[in-house]
Chains A and B, each alone.
Chain A
Amino acid sequence: MSNVPWLTVLCVLPLVGAAITAVLPDSAAWRAKQVALGTTLLTLLVGVVAATQYRIGGAQFQLVEQHSWIPAFGTSWALGVDGMSLTLILMSLVLAPVCILAAWHEVPVGGRREQNYFALLLVLITCIVGVFAATDVFLFYVFFEALLFPVYFLVGSYGGPDRRRAALKFLIFGFVGGLVMLAALIGLFAQSTGGPTAMLVTNLTGLQMGETAERLMFLGFFFAFAVKAPMWPVHTWLPDTAQQATPATATLLVGILDKVGTFGMLRFCLPLFPDASRWAAPVIIVLALISVFYGAFLAIASKDIMRLIACTSISHFGFIVLGIFAFTTTAANGSALYMINHGFTTAALFLVAAMLIRRRGSQLIPDFGGWQRVTPVLAGVFLFAGLAGLALPGMGSFVSEFLVLVGTFQRHPVAGGIAALAIILAALYILLMYQRMMTGPKPELATPVRDLTAREKWVVAPLIVALLGLGFYPKPALDVINPAMTTVLQQVGVTDPPPIAGIGVDTAKESAK
């Protein structure tokens, strides 16, 4: 089993499914979603089998494959996973069939080609696996840019009324970020030791470079990742795009693709440019705090459900970035886990909101009211998703958010203390939305509305299981993530501050046993 190129298989499988889907004749268009669902389920199965080959505490990168690609540029087709990318890939592979199932009726009959829609979704899955698994910086860049196109077409061709402008805005932001990163990439190549494997991330770690060069390259990478994440003040594409995108696209975009930004910070910015990372950390922590509060306030003021959820993500990404640049193992673990939890939380929010939007025919919050009397089960599920969004203890999102807070406080008590205030705003944006949409007298509806259907139950069930599972038993995920985060922080050259007073962790652990 160890000779199987698991990661390449994971990349190629969705692509094969996409090809089959795309060539389906129009008479068999309805088969497109079935092929897509089958493909994603198969990919998930392969992903789970691949994950069983991963050994906790083994080499930093595992399931490694390496083939020379453009030796002149030091570039190889190099794939491999550490704990962080493994959990992100698994999260993406779980969300893929969930999104396909949720997208069952997203393409109206007699509208655009259904085959293309599902084919694009599958191409997106390929790019996602590739971008998380790439251990060659140039290969990462190629996937990073390639991601833009399926999303561009998914939003621009299948989205809401203002889809073209939103798609273009998304493309331009991504393109500009990518260009800046490319410049930094070329600079990095110039600094590298050369040779056919020069661009492998392991070969680029620990390079000796000038202070200015390092800082400039750090900024180049960081800018691209900050746009993707997205952080204030380069966040403005996200609410527009998410508002116009179809729910499945919005989920994949916000729930997974945006993670490429924070993933990139942990994979590239910190290990490749440790001195520059420490140099920039204070400013980035301030920007992250601004994002946390700014996103939350935007969400409170949002009248559009999809936009509101996108704005909460700006706030959540602020937390993730805060945890990354706090430079403690606790906060870093929290951020890496936050990426997983945020994927499930966002999926639950977007997909359940879409079920409501579909029934009501509007995505404006004021158009709802009293829907708990109309669709009680759907309302309950929506509340559940919302509680995950406000990081209620018991949900996975609480564990990760609290780890970020407690880890940040360890090094920066003021920043950690300020960030803690955001938990009030989280309650406000979620529960005010719930109040406006779900409570109040039962509305008069022209046509009867069904509660949660069997297909929709299959959409939400895995998300509920994942969120509760990661809330009450996050250990399996943390055990995989922890070695990766410890390595990253060693590369940055920081150690956890010891407790101010006390007998230390070891004694406490003993007494707990």
Chain B
Amino acid sequence: MTLPTTALAALGTEGAATVHQADGIAGLGWLLIALPALGAALLLLGGRRTNSFGPALATGLSWASFGVGAAIFVEMLAKPADERAVTRTLYSWVPAGSFHVDAGIRLDQLSIAFVLLITFVGSLIHVYSLGYMAHDPDKRRFFAYLNLFIAAMLTLVVADSYLMLYVGWEGVGLASYLLIGFWNWNPPYASAANKAFFANRVGDVGMSLAIMAMFACFGTVTFTGVDAAAHNAPTGWVTFIALMLLLAACGKSAQFPLQSWLGDAMAGPTPVSALIHAATMVTAGVYLVVRSSSLFNLAPTAQLAVTIVGAITLTMGAIIGCAKDDIKKALAASTMSQIGYMMLAAGLGPVGYAFAIFHLLTHGFFKAGMFLGAGSVMHAMGDRVDMRTFGALSGKMKTTWITFLCGWLAIIGFPLLSGFWSKDKIIEAAFIGEGWRPWVFGLTTMLVAGLTAFYMSRLFFLTFHGRRRWLEGDHPHEAPSTMTIPMIVLAVGSVALGAVLNFAGFPGWLEPVVGGHGEEHPVLPVLVITLLTQLLMVIGVAVAWMKYWRDEVPQVAPRGSAVTRLAANDFYQDAFNDGLFVQPGNALANGLAAGDDTVVDGGARGLGVGLMDAAQSLRKLQNGYVRSYALTMLAGIVVILGTMWVMQ
């Protein structure tokens, strides 16, 4: 399944050796972060004065950041493959004893792919939000948070050390928290924001521990330094670091067992769901694993854990997706499942890294596009999300329907569209290896591909086809052009990006960063895998067609089977967390608070009561015990000084 470790270690060192100093446009890489950060600062500090032009300014700065990224990319293309990775130290950040970290950026084939995804999709979603949030009184604050997110996400992907990555990592968590709770006058939305932050903090413990262990182990936390030293470390340490990175990735990317926050995160405005909770932030975990490939390559146990986490999550997400009637929550479950695919691929090692990132990019386009489509539908249907009250919207919202159609075909892996190139490659890679693994992981990814076709078709048919199930007073209409243009652009990406990246040789482009791998063959012939996957897809679509297009769909969901209820309730993960952590935690906090008052303070209070009595008697001797204490103290000091003087 993987190459011998020595060969991989050699690759790792080789990769580390080919990092050059940034010059030219790449030297201006810090502008990527500075521009949107400036926008966030101006909009937040400028107050109401910036209400009129703030959103436009934020959008402009996001595009400017994309411009910088595109220029760096063009410059990078002109260089030979082994000179493309560059770093630039910005300033000495934390010089503390033996721990010394500089703020620096690293631009290579991996980070530039993310930069382009984040700034391009991010800027499109800024444009979309100009329409979507047009009537929100807090529009300026919304755009400030969007810019803050772009700045933090870019910090995450261009950082040259784990510590600086951590700043972006929590920065996107903060932006996510602020935007999920953007309408937090609604109490459940405020809870959803907190839940996301708390789950992410659990992951952050993993990130903290990983960085702590890296420093103890390697004496450095830069990517270059860790890559170079990784093969010197004992396997136990490397495995620990890799597993802690996986914990961090699980929190950020809503992977099992830290997946429960993503569904609730749909409380945020829909552009946020598209940008943060589908296209970019939630994929940061995959980035982290791929970025740390030199560590994971040396820790087969951790790699297996990554694969298993991916396999569980992709199955779980797909099952949940089948049972959700809330269009956004169904899409969120799908996101979870798709990131599960990426995670599984990343766990496969060098055969999978490139495909994990490949799928991440195409998914960023088609999932963001579908979320924007969902936002357009909600806009038309009075902000409702229940698909059982939609149906037959294809006629009324042509643009939304066609762009969503592109996204739907892309995600189910329809031949030649984006998902076909990226997801099917992951399925093929999952079939590579020896023993039980290719069969378990390969068959899981393949069967869930059928399930994906089913739940996405269900979502698509429930919304756009079948009979009208609208409520009284519904007058669906197409969204304004600020919203439809971004949807069209993303739809084009959903159709073509996979093919473009495939024929442009994207996996080869990434090879200098993630390492290459030999020619390896799946346990089944590729043609068989492709045909079987296509067959499962057709079955999934057909079943969905029968149930949700041809047949009548009740407006109120039937009770459903035990499995349906299990899936609709997200496998009762909230009840589980509540019983295992929340309740005992609250009991402990309240118990300690009560105990602090009685037991711990008790001894001290006994002393206090005694002194209080003494104070009372002193009070009789002098005027007011406040002064008496001061005098007693001073008298005490004098007596002690006197004694010392006499003893001398």
Is B633 on the interface with A (CB-CB < 8 A)?
yes
A357 to chain B, nearest CB (A): 21
Q: Is the CB of A302 within 8 A of B593?
A: yes
Q: Is the CB of A432 within 8 A of B194?
A: yes
Is A145 on the interface with B (CB-CB < 8 A)?
yes
- Residue of A153, A413, A417 near B626 (CB, 8 A) is A153
* 9 nearest A-B residue pairs (beta carbon): A329-B97, A508-B220, A499-B219, A439-B190, A508-B225, A301-B593, A502-B229, A501-B233, A333-B96
Q: Is the CB of B644 within 8 A of A189?
A: yes
Is B438 on the interface with A (CB-CB < 8 A)?
no
A355-377 residues with Cβ-Cβ distance < 8 A to B are: 370, 372-373, 377
Is A442 on the interface with B (CB-CB < 8 A)?
yes
Q: Is the CB of A234 within 8 A of B593?
A: no
Q: Is the CB of A417 within 8 A of B209?
A: yes
Known: A421-B205, A474-B94. A513 touches B89 (CB 8 A): yes
Assembly CA distance A380 to B102 (angstroms): 30
- Residue of A300, A372, A394, A428 near B171 (CB, 8 A) is A394
Is A156 on the interface with B (CB-CB < 8 A)?
yes
Q: Is the CB of B185 within 8 A of A505?
A: no
- Residue of A423, A428, A432 near B204 (CB, 8 A) is A423
Q: Mark A434-450, 1 if CB is under 8 A from B, else 0.
A: 01001111100000000
Chain B's closest residue to A227 (CB) is: B604
Q: Is the CB of B216 within 8 A of A413?
A: yes
- Residue of B161, B600, B629 near A152 (CB, 8 A) is B629
A392 to chain B, nearest CB (A): 6
Known: A439-B190, A500-B234, A501-B229. A427 touches B217 (CB 8 A): no
Q: Is the CB of B201 within 8 A of A424?
A: yes
- Residue of B102, B189, B629, B645 near A512 (CB, 8 A) is B102
Chain A's closest residue to B231 (CB) is: A501
Chain B's closest residue to A294 (CB) is: B592
B472-515 residues with Cβ-Cβ distance < 8 A to A are: none
Chain B residues, CB < 8 A from A440: 184-185, 187, 190
- Residue of A328, A334, A337, A427 near B198 (CB, 8 A) is A427
Chain A residues, CB < 8 A from B187: 439-441
Chain A residues, CB < 8 A from B304: none
Is B91 on the interface with A (CB-CB < 8 A)?
yes
Chain B residues, CB < 8 A from A505: 98, 100, 219-220
Q: How many residues of B are counted as interface, with CB atoms below 8 angstroms from the partner's CB atoms?
A: 91
Q: Is the CB of B593 within 8 A of A297?
A: yes
Is A28 on the interface with B (CB-CB < 8 A)?
no
Q: Is the CB of A236 within 8 A of B601?
A: yes
Q: Is the CB of A431 within 8 A of B219?
A: no
Chain B residues, CB < 8 A from A478: 94-96
Q: Which of B113-121, B281-289, B608-616 contacts A (4 or more CB under 8 A)?
A: B608-616
Q: Is the CB of B228 within 8 A of A507?
A: yes
A381 to chain B, nearest CB (A): 11
Chain B residues, CB < 8 A from A406: 99, 211-212, 215-216
Is A332 on the interface with B (CB-CB < 8 A)?
yes
B238 to chain A, nearest CB (A): 9
Is B589 on the interface with A (CB-CB < 8 A)?
yes
Q: Is the CB of A427 within 8 A of B601?
A: no
Is B640 on the interface with A (CB-CB < 8 A)?
yes
Q: Is the CB of A337 within 8 A of B220?
A: no
B309 to chain A, nearest CB (A): 20
Q: Is the CB of B96 within 8 A of A337?
A: yes
Assembly CA distance A301 to B595 (angstroms): 12
Is A416 on the interface with B (CB-CB < 8 A)?
yes
Known: A149-B630, A423-B208, A508-B218. A482 touches B228 (CB 8 A): no
Q: Mark B154-179, 1 if CB is under 8 A from A, else 0.
A: 00000011010011011100100100
Chain A residues, CB < 8 A from B225: 502-503, 507-508, 511-512
Is A186 on the interface with B (CB-CB < 8 A)?
yes
Chain B residues, CB < 8 A from A373: 185
Chain A's closest residue to B203 (CB) is: A424
A399 to chain B, nearest CB (A): 6
Chain B's closest residue to A410 (CB) is: B216
Known: A237-B604, A301-B593. A424 touches B96 (CB 8 A): no
Is A282 on the interface with B (CB-CB < 8 A)?
no
Assembly CA distance A140 to B644 (angstroms): 17
Q: Is the CB of A442 within 8 A of B97?
A: no
Main secondary structure of the interface of B (DSSP, over half): helix
Chain A residues, CB < 8 A from B169: 393
Is A486 on the interface with B (CB-CB < 8 A)?
yes
Is A112 on the interface with B (CB-CB < 8 A)?
no
Is A504 on the interface with B (CB-CB < 8 A)?
yes
Chain A residues, CB < 8 A from B104: 512
Chain B residues, CB < 8 A from A512: 87, 89, 102, 104, 160-161, 220, 222, 224-225
Q: How many residues of A are counted as interface, with CB atoms below 8 angstroms from the partner's CB atoms?
A: 100
Chain B residues, CB < 8 A from A474: 93-94
A-B contact pairs, 27 of them (CB 8 A): A152-B630, A175-B633, A186-B640, A186-B644, A297-B593, A298-B592, A330-B99, A333-B97, A377-B47, A399-B94, A402-B208, A406-B211, A407-B99, A409-B213, A417-B212, A420-B212, A421-B205, A431-B197, A439-B187, A441-B185, A442-B185, A499-B229, A500-B234, A503-B225, A508-B220, A508-B225, A513-B89
Q: Is the CB of B640 within 8 A of A182?
A: yes
Assembly CA distance A233 to B595 (angstroms): 12
Is A485 on the interface with B (CB-CB < 8 A)?
yes
Assembly CA distance A512 to B227 (angstroms): 12
Known: A176-B607, A182-B640, A473-B91. A72 touches B96 (CB 8 A): no
Is B191 on the interface with A (CB-CB < 8 A)?
yes
Is A148 on the interface with B (CB-CB < 8 A)?
yes
Q: Is the CB of A502 within 8 A of B212?
A: no
Assembly CA distance A80 to B484 (angstroms): 68
Assembly CA distance A70 to B642 (angstroms): 12
Is B202 on the interface with A (CB-CB < 8 A)?
yes
Q: Is the CB of A511 within 8 A of B222?
A: yes
Known: A503-B232, A508-B224. 10 other contacts (CB 8 A): A168-B608, A171-B629, A189-B644, A297-B593, A330-B97, A392-B174, A405-B212, A439-B181, A486-B97, A512-B222
Is A475 on the interface with B (CB-CB < 8 A)?
yes
Known: A73-B645, A420-B208, A507-B225. A500 touches B237 (CB 8 A): yes
Q: Is the CB of A72 within 8 A of B592?
A: no
B535 to chain A, nearest CB (A): 46
Is B574 on the interface with A (CB-CB < 8 A)?
no
Is B92 on the interface with A (CB-CB < 8 A)?
yes
B387-430 residues with Cβ-Cβ distance < 8 A to A are: none
Chain A residues, CB < 8 A from B637: 142, 145
Chain A residues, CB < 8 A from B208: 402, 405, 420, 423
Assembly CA distance A173 to B600 (angstroms): 14
Assembly CA distance A432 to B194 (angstroms): 8
Q: Is the CB of A511 within 8 A of B217?
A: no
Is A403 on the interface with B (CB-CB < 8 A)?
yes
Q: Mark A469-496, 1 if CB is under 8 A from B, else 0.
A: 0001111001100100110000000001
Is B561 on the interface with A (CB-CB < 8 A)?
no
Is A498 on the interface with B (CB-CB < 8 A)?
yes
Chain B's closest residue to A72 (CB) is: B648
Q: Mark B618-635, 1 if CB is under 8 A from A, else 0.
A: 000000001001100100
Chain A residues, CB < 8 A from B97: 328-330, 332-333, 407, 482, 485-486, 496
Assembly CA distance A392 to B173 (angstroms): 10
Chain B residues, CB < 8 A from A439: 181, 184-185, 187, 189-190
